[in-house]
Amino acid sequence: MQGAQGAASQSPRRRADAVGLNLAARRVRLRGGALLALLFLYAADPSPLWLAIGAVPAALGLLLRGWAAGVIHKDRVLSTTGPYAFTRNPLYLGSFLLGSGVVAAGGRPLFLLVFALFFGFVYRATIRREARELEVRFGDPYRAWAEAVPAFLPRLTPYRARASSDDDEPAAFSWSRYRRNREWEALLGTLVGFAVLGAKWWWGV
């Protein structure tokens, strides 16, 4: 989710409700994701072909998430440049590509369907809730951006705000911002996931 600028316009109760919903959604993602991950690792039947197939979307997901994490200014401004000029939720789209790649590498196509259903169930509500919060916080600039930029699947050309300003210039990627947003954890988790699947194939377990 993007920044908290304009949060002062929200009532304390609304802010508390939003925090509660965010925590509840996070618990569902973590607990449900952990359960599915355990089932997936138990049932996975990786092979060199499936590992190679899964590596492609996983790498694309990491690149997209990394790009987004390196340009977003959390808690400061509404990000509409960089990957946010193509999709309003590049981090979630990157997560979907990344997760799909890891699941595909497990060699069980049925789990791709399970993952897609779980992702849609959890993140569809999250995206809608965050969209409402951003509209309250940023008003007309957010509405203009949301009208032109899809929530998930990207548009083909980058969005440009109607009113030209310095904020409309493409945000430069920053490694320090990437590290501050702890995006390296996604890279580390992906490497561990593929290492486990590779070991399972190698040892035939």
Span 18-27, average pLDDT: 60
pTM above 0.85, yes or no: no
Percent of the chain with pLDDT over 70: 81
Residue at 131 is within a domain: yes
Confidence of residue 16 (pLDDT cuts 50, 70, 90): low
Residue at 167 is within a domain: no
Domain count, the chain: 1
- For residue range 119-168, list pLDDT tens digits in order: 998 899 889 999 999 999 999 999 999 999 999 999 999 998 765 455 55
Confidence of residue 9 (pLDDT cuts 50, 70, 90): very low
Residue at 40 is within a domain: yes
Residue at 81 is within a domain: yes
Residue at 163 is within a domain: no
Percent of the chain with pLDDT over 90: 61
Query: CATH number, domain at 187?
Result: 1.20.120
Residue at 172 is within a domain: no
Residue at 129 is within a domain: yes
Q: Which domain holds residue 138?
A: 8-153+180-200
DSSP code string of the chain: ----TTGGGS-HHHHHHHHHHHHHHHHHHHHHHHHHHHHHHHH----HHHHHHHHHHHHHHHHHHHHHHHH--TTTS---SGGGGT-S-HHHHHHHHHHHHHHHHTT-HHHHHHHHHHHHHHHHHHHHHHHHHHHHHH-HHHHHHHHHS-SSSPPSS----SS--GGGSPPPP-HHHHHHTTTHHHHHHHHHHHHHHHHHHHHT-
pLDDT for position 18? 52
What's the mean per-residue pLDDT of the chain?
Answer: 85
Confidence of residue 31 (pLDDT cuts 50, 70, 90): confident
Residue at 36 is within a domain: yes
pLDDT for position 24? 63
- For residue range 42-95, list pLDDT tens digits in order: 899 999 999 999 999 999 999 999 999 999 877 678 999 999 999 999 999 999
Confidence of residue 7 (pLDDT cuts 50, 70, 90): very low
